[in-house]
Amino acid sequence: MSDTSTITPRQNEILFFIRDKIVERGYPPSIREIGEAFDIVSPNGVMCHLKALEKKGFIERNKGVLNHKSAARAITIPGMRTTPAVFPMLGLVAAGPAIEAVPQNEQVDLGELFAGKDHFALRIKGQSMIEDHIDEGDIVIIRRQETAENGDRVVAMIDGSTTLKKFYRRKNQIVLEPSNSMLPPIVIDPEEQNFSLVGILVGVVRKC
């Protein structure tokens, strides 16, 4: 399993870029495209970032590729689907009194709900959001953006480490509050710490 706490901001940007290209067109960018997107002149500079991402478990390279010319584009993201998941919508189910089962001719496309160049998934480690019913092992869907409203559940990066918390801006501080009464909030002074917002929580996936 990849550890998001070990990824650098530049590696994170390159990972997003690779994911975006796979979502948009179905295959990853070339070494040259990555270099041009991030003003990295040397192909070796791009390769250093890719090797680091591969070592940390965020990408796989050359998996099942025997042709050296094809290896440059043979970048995959473990667990990432290139096609959306579509399920038949059979109707409603009661969470209170029982209701009549009425068949519906409808489908729910999870790709349409959550996929796109600004969406990505993370697996939860820990129980700091357990009171919001987000448990260890759950997968959260994040919409990448750099702004948030008070009370939004966000993925934030603090000095190179990432965390999912509730966001609050209070005077000259940023407070990241867990949804776990046993844990203290994280108080950040943006002038003294390297802080950035990665994105906003838009969905939670749990396999029972």
Return the active site residues: 128, 165
Burial bucket for residue 33 (CB in 10 Å: 0-12, 13-18, 19+): middle
Residue 32 is encoded by which pair of tokens? 């040259």
Locus of tokens 């108080």: 187
Backbone φ, ψ for residue 168 (5° rounding): -140, 135
The number of angstroms, rounded, from the C-alpha of 28 to the middle of its chain's C-alpha atoms is: 17
Give me the residues paired with residue 200 across strands. Answer: 143, 154
Question: In sequence order, what DSSP letters do the residues of 154-192 get, joined into one string?
Answer: EEEEETTEEEEEEEEEETTEEEEE-S-TTSPPEEE-TTT
Distance from C-alpha of 18 to C-alpha of 28, rounded to nearest angstrom: 6
- The helix (run of H) or strand (run of E) holding residue 104 is none
Give me the residues paired with residue 83 across strands. Answer: none
Q: Determine the residue type at 95.
A: A
Distance from C-alpha of 67 to C-alpha of 70, rounded to nearest angstrom: 5
